[in-house]
Structure 1
């Protein structure tokens, strides 16, 4: 029994020693005279970058958000993200789509003089396979023949097997 206490005690001491070594960011280094001195180590300085914006709330840099009054999203499933923007003077329209697991999102458009219909498509594999259970919200764009202008945008979603 005395031996078990010694083994457990040695394990605790080893654990405490390794924890304090990890918590102390100093190391010893030798100078040319052979003297040792502590040196401070640190993590690299963070870079000055803007954090990524939440995908369903803001357009990407350079994009101009389309007003809610110009968007018809009644055909979308409940809780589907609705975010539409234009780029390149209105010739490029962007949307936030939804995909999950093995699905891959894409968009198609059809345009008339009065409206642009954007169909967000989630294509899933035809053969069943193991997939993750995550949801992703990729930002996708589509090119129009003419700038969007005052035309209405109708959003639809569709699921396909591919």
Structure 2
């Protein structure tokens, strides 16, 4: 009898428990298009000190210029979007311990997908550094 109980535990189940749905997979990263296929966001729509920001795909994608260097790697996160503003966080991941790194600086374009076109909403860009374990 114990054999059947143990064997049943190893069977795959389509049930996710409590009648819920499995979590949705994260959205695929959006790739920035070449500069000539983007539209600059007017300065009056940008937070003070924001890097260069564009829209693409009819305003439904916002592209901001990140900053990384040496061993660090930057990515963009859409933090908030509502009727008045879109908030984007540029996260520069710095490996810890750093080890030997080059002294170069890179300014990659980073894109985030919006639920609706940007139109006249304000774009707030914040930049943070985060220490991550070295791989």
Instruction: Please indicate, yes or no, whether the TM-score normalized by the shorter chain is above 0.5.
Output: yes
Displacement of 1:157 after TM fit? 0.2
1:102 maps to which residue?
71
1:68 pairs, out of 43, 46, 55, with: 43
Quick check: 1:88 aligned with 2:64?
no
CA distance in 2, matches of 1:112, 1:158: 22
Displacement of 1:121 after TM fit? 0.9
Larger-Rg structure: 1
Q: Unaligned stretches of 5+ in structure 1?
A: 1-58, 77-81
Q: Unaligned stretches of 5+ in structure 2?
A: 1-33
2:125 maps to which residue?
155
The number of equivalent residue pairs is 98
Secondary structure of the residue aligned to 2:37 is coil
Residues 117-144 of structure 1, C-alpha deviation per residue, up to 9 Å, x if partnerless? 1111100112231001111100111101
1:122 maps to which residue?
92
CA distance in 1, matches of 2:82, 2:100: 41
CA distance in 2, matches of 1:145, 1:96: 21
TM-score, scaled to structure 1: 0.57
Residues 24-74 of structure 1, C-alpha deviation per residue, up to 9 Å, x if partnerless? xxxxxxxxxxxxxxxxxxxxxxxxxxxxxxxxxxx7121001100110134
- Answer yes or no: is the 8 Å Cα contact 1:73–1:156 preserved in 2: no
- Answer yes or no: is the 8 Å Cα contact 2:71–2:98 preserved in 1: no
1:137 maps to which residue?
107
- Answer yes or no: is the 8 Å Cα contact 1:107–1:140 preserved in 2: yes
In the TM superposition, what are the counterparts of 1:47-66 in structure 2 within 5 Å? 60-66=35-41
Secondary structure of the residue aligned to 2:130 is strand
TM-score, scaled to structure 2: 0.68
